[in-house]
Amino acid sequence: MSSIPDISLILLKGLKVTLIVLVLSMMLSTIIALVAGLSRVSNNRLLTGFTKFYVEIFRGTSLIVQLFWFSYALPGLFNIHLGSDIWVAVLAISLNYGAYMSEIVRGAILSVPPGQTEASIALNLSRFQRMRHIIIPQAIRMMLPEYGNYLIQILKATSLVSLIGLTDFLYYGNIYRSTHLTEAPTVYILILIFYFLLALPLIGFTRKMEKVAKKGVVHG
């Protein structure tokens, strides 16, 4: 029977993959969310229509199915290969959560008081200048708390990457559990603890952002 430190060392073999997928997914999903969110409030109907289609597709289907689609269906149907499984996982998670987070961006922009826009028009600012100097800075403050929450969701989503063969925490946990059935409770308790420890900085970030948002939201 293995000790908790021995099991922990086995599970920690998956730390690198978990962190790589997490960091890359957070970065890419943030970029996608900003681009898609701004596109949703664009005056270009084609752009808003395409973005709306993307958002509804990825919000309306399962992340697990999307992982399998990018990993197995896309190469088989169209002979399109996305490279390593890590990039497959990052792309699927980023597109999925980027769709959800884009709605935060869109909602925050639309929540900026109309008086702010009217004042910027009175100052003869162009639409780009209004967005850059007036609307987006205020919108960012409003979207920060929910953004932090979605970063935690992305961390939890990384636990699915073992389904396409990536050697993360859960992968090594399942391998170990398959040969040590009696130690399954210990394995999964340790996995829970590891994910919680990774979530702590994100939880702290979210709370910090909530304080920033409360100080920075402009009313009226």
- Mean pLDDT score of the chain, rounded to an integer? 87
Q: Is the pLDDT score of 131 beyond 60?
A: yes
Q: What is the mean pLDDT of residues 143-164?
A: 91
Q: What mean pLDDT comes out for the span 32-42?
A: 92
Amino acid 212: pLDDT: 73
The pLDDT value given to residue 137: 80
| Domain covering 4-216 assigned CATH 1.10.3720.10 in the classification | yes
Has residue 43 got a pLDDT over 80? Answer: yes
Region 133-151: what's the mean pLDDT? 83
pLDDT, tens digit, 9 for 90 and up, residues 105-115: 999 888 887 77
- How far, in Å, CA of 144 to CA of 49, rounded? 26
pLDDT (0 to 100) of residue 181: 86
**pLDDT on residue 82:** 64
pLDDT at 88 over 50: yes
- The whole-number pLDDT of residue 138 equals 81
Per the rule left: phi > 0, alpha: psi between -120 and 50, beta: everything else, 61 is beta
Confidence band for 80, pLDDT divided at 50, 70 and 90: low
pTM of this prediction?
0.87
Can you give the pLDDT at residue 218? Answer: 46
On the question of pLDDT at 207 being above 50, the answer is yes
217 has a pLDDT exceeding 80: no
Predicted confidence (pLDDT) at residue 195 exceeds the cutoff of 90: yes
Mean pLDDT (whole number) for 49-63: 94
Cα–Cα distance measured from residue 154 to residue 99, given in angstroms and rounded to the nearest whole number? 12
Ordered by start, the domain boundaries in the chain are 4-216
